[in-house]
């Protein structure tokens, strides 16, 4: 199963942290409590994930913990791809 950590990190840095080097965003950094993602940002991430990884994200799956860290987003995408 593919690891999408790098693509997810690159997207988050380009969209939400343009002044931060990509390698300084660790896979376990809390994007929600750290203020990187708010509700609008979360929607942008979801749309990008659906488009980039060809997955469908149902409202039921939109749990904040699935989007709290790069590692959590990666695990979520891998899970969504397995069930697709």
**pLDDT digit string, tens, across residues 37-76:** 999 999 999 999 999 999 988 877 788 899 999 999 999 9
pLDDT in tens, 12-40: 999 999 999 988 999 999 999 999 999 99
- Counted domains in the chain: 1
At 31, which CATH number?
Answer: 1.10.1200.10
C-alpha dist (Å) from residue 7 to 19, 35, 50, 60, 79: 18, 20, 13, 24, 16
For residue 35, give its domain range: 5-83
Q: Which tokens go with 11?
A: 């997207």
CB 59 within 8 A of CB 21: no
């Amino acid at each position: 199963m593919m690891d999408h950590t790098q693509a997810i990190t690159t997207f988050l840095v380009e969209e939400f942290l343009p002044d931060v080097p990509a390698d300084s965003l660790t896979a376990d950094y809390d994007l929600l409590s750290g203020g990187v993602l708010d509700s609008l940002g979360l929607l942008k991430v979801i749309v990008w994930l659906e488009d980039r990884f060809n997955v469908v994200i149902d409202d039921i799956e939109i749990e904040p913990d699935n989007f709290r860290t790069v590692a959590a987003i990666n695990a979520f995408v891998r899970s969504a791809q397995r069930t697709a």
